[in-house]
Amino acid sequence: MCDSKYRAKGKGSWLIYTDFQIVQKYSRIMRGIYNYYSGCDRISRLYRISYILQYSCARTLARRSKVTMSKIFQRYGKNFRVTEKIQGQKSSEAKTIEFTDLVTLRKNDKQKKLTSIERKTIENDPFHIVEHWRTKFKFYNECCICGSTESIELYHINSLKSIKNKEKDHGKVIRSQINRIQIPVCRPCHEDITHGRYNNPKKPIEFYNEFLAKL
């Protein structure tokens, strides 16, 4: 994200993502660094890192849109406030993300008035962003059966018991357990399926296939 002289540069491997996702990734990195070093006395030393991340984000957005950095700042503002519509079954929901620089993080921290005991130390590398694609629907979408956005959980189509009964090879059993199909459902629908109260003639997997076709 910077050269040997600490000058910000764009991250070419992130050009495949949308503007919303790019800003989200940079914001997560800055927030992780701040949380990691929040207990230090000289927190102001992070201003340089905040500046590098902010302008690296601007250069990445500019490369993706093939425009100048000034136009990116005009389009999204200083903190790159980006809104993205996520299409659901019944309606689309607008979600907004912005880059949280050090000034914003310190300001929010003072407003929350967190004590050192209440704060949780992050031990992981803040630059290492992990996305679990198999559970991504749990956080960004709604129940594929009724369309609810509250208390989304994951329902496994194939139970472990049925997999063990069908497969005799231990290796195949392990691979089948890892690759089980998981669909996002709300808690009431999940309980109806689990406890045998689900009486819809259409199977959950059929709702899930229609759900994926609309994304």
pLDDT tens, position by position, 15-60:
989 999 999 999 999 988 988 888 788 888 899 999 999 999 999 9
Residue 68: the pLDDT is 92
Residue 116: the pLDDT is 45
Q: How far apart are alpha carbons 174 and 171 in whole angstroms?
A: 5
Half-sphere exposure of 130 (CA within 13 A, CB side): 5
Residue 138: the pLDDT is 42
Residue 110: the pLDDT is 75
Q: Which amino acid is at 145?
A: I
DSSP 201: S
- Say yes or no to pLDDT of 62 above 60: yes
Average pLDDT over residues 88-99: 78
Residue 85: the pLDDT is 80
- Judge whether 92 and 70 are in contact, CB under 8 Å: no
- Say yes or no to pLDDT of 71 above 80: yes
- Using left for φ > 0, alpha for ψ between -120 and 50, and beta otherwise, residue 151 falls in left
Residue 60: the pLDDT is 94
DSSP 3-state assignment of 93? strand
Please tell me which residue, 133 or 170, carries the higher pLDDT value. Answer: 170
DSSP 3-state assignment of 214? coil
Q: Give the lowest-confidence range in 8-17, 54-63, 87-96, 183-192.
A: 87-96
Max avg pLDDT among 32-46, 56-70, 120-134: 56-70
- Say yes or no to pLDDT of 139 above 50: no
Polymer length in residues for the chain: 215
* Dihedral sign (CA 147, 149, 151, 152): positive
pTM of the model: 0.55
